[in-house]
Structure 1
């Protein structure tokens, strides 16, 4: 069952749990107005015991450098809780932003949340982040 965490005129954030993953679906632009709310949503979910996340950016038409900074901050928090993070996004343009920001090899990208949650979370989580995954 999908639960809405944030709903503003600029962005909506909801989550669902699938195969041990907390799928955080972001719908809207992730920029200077919205990135803090997304980070706070992850922190709240971590405090509730969620550890393994899929950040679903499939409905995000635009990200800026603030989004990249928020993703790194989120990753650090998840790592502190020995969790995992995967990014669902089928947009080559979006992945290019991560690459230009020097983060292309630091994350696992999947075409959809279904693909990202197909296998249960790994035991080692983000232990080797920010290096590439083998």
Structure 2
């Protein structure tokens, strides 16, 4: 099993930035969930997930972001996704999740 996702969490004082590099699928989603969900449980937290270097995501990844959104609403924190590549953004759009998750609409290129 090849786990091809790097997660880096950076606290800049105002926000917590989660930089992701690789692919989000059934194998890597638990790694993402383990890193992301605890951040959403802090009241007032501002979490920004940078997906610029994520070139593939399947429905398991969507599930993680739905869980994170639900947790952020329960704990009164904020979740925002930024720098989505076109193919990843398309997943949010076709599932209408782009209407409930805050996504920076500056879509990056990519295959």
What's the TM-score once normalised by structure 2's chain length? 0.81
What RMSD in Å do the two structures reach over aligned CA positions? 2.3
Partner secondary structure for residue 97 of structure 2: coil
1:102-121 superposed matches below 5 A: 102-110=96-104, 111=106
| Equivalent position of 2:62 in the other structure | 68
Which structure: greater strand fraction?
Answer: 2
- Deviation at residue 46 of structure 1 after TM alignment: 4.5
Partner secondary structure for residue 32 of structure 1: coil
Distance in 2, matches of 1:91 and 1:106, equals: 18
Consecutive unaligned residues in structure 1, runs of 5 or more: 1-7, 113-134
What's the TM-score once normalised by structure 1's chain length? 0.68
- Deviation at residue 100 of structure 1 after TM alignment: 1.0
- Deviation at residue 60 of structure 1 after TM alignment: 0.3
Consecutive unaligned residues in structure 2, runs of 5 or more: none
Distance in 2, matches of 1:50 and 1:27, equals: 26
Partner secondary structure for residue 82 of structure 1: coil
Tell me if structure 2 keeps the 8 A contact 1:68–1:101: no
| Equivalent position of 1:87 in the other structure | 81
How many matched pairs?
A: 105
Matched, 1:10 2:14: no
Which structure: greater helix fraction?
Answer: 2
Query: Structure 1 residues 82, 94: closer, same or farther in 2, change over 3 A?
Result: same
